[in-house]
Amino acid sequence: MRLVQFYLPESGRRIGILDGDQVLDITSPGLSSTMELLERSVSESVTMEEIVSRLTAAGSYPYESLDVSPDSSRPHLLIPIDPPEVWGFGVTYKRSAEMRDEDTTGEKGIYDYVYFAERPEAFFKATGPRCVGTNDYICIRRDSTLTAAEPELAYVLGKNEDIIGFTVCNDVSAWDIERENPLYLPQSKIFYGCCALGPTLALASGIEDPYNLDITCRIIRDKKAIFSGEINSSSIKRKFDELTEFLCRDNPIPVGTVVTTGTGIMIPNDYALAVGDVVEIEIENIGKLSNPVKKL
Ligand code: DO4
Ligand code: MG
């Protein structure tokens, strides 16, 4: 089951289920966000699917008609969950370790070390207001000239550190700031519009094998694809339980936290983001996240 949040000019935020090419509106009193749905499932100790099965659809909208840039005068998709926190993991794919070391010192260094270390690299990435949904702008911070898209599979935590679902994430990162000094990592990672999530929240029961998902990325400039890359999530070095265990060690993580699992598609520096580009990231059984780029 894939959930979305969408906006209607007359009633604001709604929750929908993706049913073929239609979005069924299942909003009901007290349940107008996927976070409320998740909190209800936690308080009643039932699955989100169980809560959804009790709701009646109040209307339907073609998905295509909602997959448009956000504008308060027309219906459009929103971020599929408003996360209290987003945490990231890095250097979970070999390509990320290799390219980062090469671009920093030209030889094996801290990235190779962390790729093989027992402890993974975890970093705070964003809060809800720093995130955007599909078709909304991702941003280049004003002091960066080399900001890149990082296409990633992300999961959402429920209670007891359980994964309740998956979404697509763009861990937009100012690589020039990261390379200047590793201590600048938070500034390279956290800024307004640094994280795109969506288009759907695919509940975990519908994702048969999260370690076998094709992830593709395209960068469109002047209507042409100037970059395309792909990876399968089977190439990730670590298991999600291992990431969650490190993340939650003596660190209270609120329900609804999004955890992004690292990039396996390293975009060459020649395709650093430019104003007007559109980044498309697609993961099978979740959907295509598409974001235009602007400079802050
Ligand atoms: O330390 C660098 C960040 C790594 C990262 O975000 C990734 O590998 O996806
Ligand atoms: Mg990343």
> Under a CB-based contact definition with an 8 Å cutoff, are residues 110 and 182 in contact?
yes
> Under a CB-based contact definition with an 8 Å cutoff, are residues 289 and 196 in contact?
yes
Return the bridge partners of 171, or none: 195
Cα–Cα distance between 65 and 69 in angstroms, integer? 10
Residue 253 CA from chain centroid, whole number: 17
Residue type, 116: F
Residue type, 100: R
> Under a CB-based contact definition with an 8 Å cutoff, are residues 170 and 150 in contact?
yes
> Under a CB-based contact definition with an 8 Å cutoff, are residues 67 and 77 in contact?
yes
Give the model's pLDDT for residue 102: 86
- Tell me how far the alpha carbon of residue 100 lies from the centroid of ligand 1, in angstroms: 8
Cα–Cα distance between 198 and 241 in angstroms, integer? 22
96 CB under 6 A from ligand 1?
yes
Cα–Cα distance between 204 and 197 in angstroms, integer? 16
Pick the ligand that lies closest to the CA of residue 121: 1
101 CB under 6 A from ligand 1?
no
Give the model's pLDDT for residue 107: 82
Alpha helices in 190-260 (DSSP H): 240-248
Cis peptide bond N-terminal to 199, omega within 30: yes
Ligand 1: nearest atom to the Cα of 92: 8
Give the model's pLDDT for residue 120: 98
Query: What three-state secondary structure class fits 113?
Result: helix
Residue nearest to atom 4 of ligand 1 (CA): 90
Query: What three-state secondary structure class fits 291?
Result: strand
> Under a CB-based contact definition with an 8 Å cutoff, are residues 147 and 272 in contact?
yes
198 CB under 6 A from ligand 1?
no
262 CB under 6 A from ligand 1?
yes
> Under a CB-based contact definition with an 8 Å cutoff, are residues 96 and 265 in contact?
no
Query: What three-state secondary structure class fits 48?
Result: helix
pLDDT in tens, the chain (296 residues): 999 999 999 999 999 999 999 999 999 999 999 999 999 999 999 999 999 999 999 999 999 999 999 999 999 999 999 999 999 999 999 988 888 888 888 888 899 999 999 999 999 999 999 999 999 999 999 999 999 999 999 999 999 999 999 999 999 999 999 999 999 999 999 999 999 999 999 999 999 999 999 999 999 999 999 999 999 999 999 999 999 999 999 999 999 999 999 999 999 999 999 999 999 999 999 999 999 999 99
Residue nearest to atom 5 of ligand 1 (CA): 90
88 CB under 6 A from ligand 1?
yes
- Tell me how far the alpha carbon of residue 33 lies from the centroid of ligand 2, in angstroms: 27
Cα–Cα distance between 284 and 296 in angstroms, integer? 32
Residue nearest to atom 1 of ligand 1 (CA): 90
Cα–Cα distance between 123 and 99 in angstroms, integer? 19
Residue nearest to atom 2 of ligand 1 (CA): 90
